Amino acid sequence: MEALIKDMQSDEAHPARPVLVISNRPEALGLKRAKSLGVHAICIDHKDYKNREEFEKAVQSKLIEHEAELVCLAGFMRILTPYFTAHWIGRMINIHPSLLPKHKGLNTHQRAIDSGDKIHGASVHWVNAELDAGAVIKQHHIQIDKDDNAESLKQKVLKIEHPLYCQALKSVAAELLNIKIRQ
């Protein structure tokens, strides 16, 4: 999230601007970081809602209120319902620490090692109703070394995730802007 905000703010020609950061956890460091970068940031605690759909309606309401046109998930560790994903189809992206479609879900680094993979990496993808199943927008791979473990692999992937996500956001936002201009 912080890398995306800084990238958007450092490039006047960037086709996107941050309008809102939402976390479902009040203690999330991202809320403080976003505010320190001048971006409106709020917590919508999922524990305050009776079910997932009510929580997502609250999130949806805030996104609409702030006129968000594109949603970038970053560290948001909740599975979104079809209600929410349907509204944002073609306008919501996520980064995942694997070379999708391999290793969807959690523990990707250990799973890559356990599978005997020689390469691993990160993928930015469109979000749809199925977990980590949207079309891949951009990927970057790294070599898995013989002495890698889940933690060392995680650190290698983290180094490529920030620039990858920034590049993907820039290209997606430019394309959405072009579509909007043509309409």
Residue 43: HSE in the Cβ half-sphere, 13 Å Cα cutoff: 13
CA distances from 166 to 9, 15, 111, 138 (A): 12, 12, 26, 10
- CA 69, 74, 77, 79 dihedral sign is positive
Identify the active-site residue in 14, 66, 87, 96: 96
Distance CA 67, CA 134 (A): 24
Look up 140 and say whether it is catalytic: no
Which of the residues are catalytic? 96
